[in-house]
């Protein structure tokens, strides 16, 4: 059988995936702030959300009242792109001289800001702001604030990648918002082009073991009871082995008796895509990651309460990050899930 052959090539999924760092930026409407960072080589994930306020669990209806601003949180590989590179892209998306909002969007909830996660980011952001101010590019002082990061709440799913889900409405909004006109006035096209733009997708074979490649890229299946996470009982999260996007949590994991890691629901439903699979002559529901399009496994309706679902996943398609490592791996905002 195919899985028996694949088992011969099984290597540890714990082999170090590139370290992930986190950057958080507010630049007005978060619809417009996701695309520039998503284009960058070394960026794994860009989430739209709310930050900077005191109120917990904000929604689109009340985030402004709770003191939050619209923002994006960027997960990136510092070996491929630096925080300074991200800052350079950030400044070229906003009007840094406007203290009252951004372009057509007015009010504190649309103010631009850099939210630093550590002292190194704070120093780099300050240096970058000072250099921009001294450049004389703008006819007013650069007033964008550099603030300490406290928390980030992902926005509702319909706000994520709005430019892809609603391209016509996005283009109409963007063309009338005044952002592009401002940027073109102060930056030339060569300057606006990202220096580290993603090239053609690299062959995953370069970074995956044979089994990981077989499972994620060729819809393979690893052997039951002989895979890394089927009986893992540690607390933490499971992320896509290719992209690092968050998929599942140990709090929703259960012993299904099948020999594969099983969960009754995803931690980040927006990162999980379900597709009809008729490859074996029967109809099943395949599960893939949204960003990397990795094959993860299948979902069945014989799981436990409260969902009644069983997400039967392959260990080879995921990487486990223990709770104690969440902060240093760039997933610190998920620590609250385990309190």
User: pTM of the predicted model, to two decimals?
Assistant: 0.57
Q: Identify the active-site residue in 6, 237, 267, 312.
A: 312
Residues 29 and 145 grouped into a single domain: yes
Considering the candidates 13, 17, 26, 29, report the single residue annotated as catalytic.
Answer: 29
Q: Which of 150, 166, 192 is the C-terminal boundary of a domain?
A: 192
User: Could you tell me if 259 and 248 are in contact, meaning their C-beta atoms sit under 8 angstroms apart?
Assistant: no
For residue 167, give every residue at least 6 positions away whose Cβ sits within 8 Å of its Cβ, in sequence order, or none.
Answer: none
User: Which residues span the domain enclosing 317?
Assistant: 204-338
Predicted confidence at residue 205, as pLDDT, reads: 65
Name the average pLDDT for the chain.
Answer: 90
* Residue carrying the six token digits 């011969």: 8
Q: Does a structural domain hold residue 330?
A: yes
In this structure, is residue 85 part of a structural domain?
A: yes
| Partners of 240 in the β-ladder | 318
Q: In terms of domains, do 126 and 235 share one?
A: no
- Confirm whether 29 is a catalytic residue: yes
Asked whether the CA dihedral 271, 274, 275, 279 is positive or negative, the reply is positive
pLDDT in tens, 248-267: 999 999 999 999 999 999 99
Q: What is the mean predicted confidence (pLDDT) over 77-86?
A: 94
User: In the prediction, which pLDDT does 1 show?
Assistant: 40
Is the domain of 232 the same as that of 153?
no
Note if 312 is an active site residue. yes
Does 95 lie in the same domain as 56?
A: yes
List, in sequence order, the alpha helices (H) in the chain. Answer: 2-7, 30-38, 83-91, 119-134, 162-165, 167-177, 179-186, 189-192, 210-218
Measured distance CA(144)–CA(127) in Å, rounded: 13
Q: How many whole angstroms separate alpha carbon 198 and alpha carbon 87?
A: 17
**Are 221 and 252 found together in one domain?**
yes
């Amino acid at each position: 059988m195919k899985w028996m052959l694949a088992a011969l090539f099984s290597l540890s999924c714990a082999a170090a995936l590139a370290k992930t760092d986190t950057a958080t930026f507010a630049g007005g409407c978060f619809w417009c702030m996701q695309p520039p960072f998503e284009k960058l080589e070394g960026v794994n994930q860009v989430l739209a959300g709310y930050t900077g306020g005191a109120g917990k669990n904000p929604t689109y209806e009340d985030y402004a009242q709770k003191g939050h601003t619209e923002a994006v949180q960027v997960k990136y590989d510092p070996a491929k792109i630096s925080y300074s590179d991200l800052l350079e892209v950030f400044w070229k998306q906003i009007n840094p001289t406007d203290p009252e909002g951004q372009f057509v969007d007015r009010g504190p909830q649309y103010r631009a800001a850099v939210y630093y996660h550590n002292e190194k980011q704070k120093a780099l952001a300050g240096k970058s702001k000072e250099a921009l101010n001294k450049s004389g590019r703008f006819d007013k002082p650069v007033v964008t604030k550099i603030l300490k990061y406290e928390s980030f709440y992902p926005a509702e799913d319909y706000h994520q990648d709005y430019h892809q889900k609603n391209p016509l409405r996005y283009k109409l909004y963007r063309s009338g918002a005044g952002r592009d006109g401002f940027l073109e006035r102060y930056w030339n096209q060569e300057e606006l082009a990202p220096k580290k733009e993603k090239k053609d997708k690299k062959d995953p074979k370069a970074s995956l073991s044979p089994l990981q490649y077989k499972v994620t890229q060729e819809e393979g299946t690893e052997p039951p009871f002989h895979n890394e996470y089927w009986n893992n009982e540690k607390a933490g999260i499971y992320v896509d082995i290719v992209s690092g996007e968050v998929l599942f949590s140990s709090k929703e994991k259960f012993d299904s008796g099948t020999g594969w890691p099983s969960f009754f629901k995803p931690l980040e439903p927006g990162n999980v895509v379900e597709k009809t699979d008729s490859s074996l002559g029967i109809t099943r529901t395949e599960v893939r990651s949204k960003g990397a399009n990795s094959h993860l496994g299948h979902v069945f309706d014989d799981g436990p309460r409260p969902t009644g679902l069983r997400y039967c996943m392959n260990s080879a398609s995921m990487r486990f990050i223990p709770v104690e490592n969440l902060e240093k791996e760039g997933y610190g905002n998920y620590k609250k899930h385990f309190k």
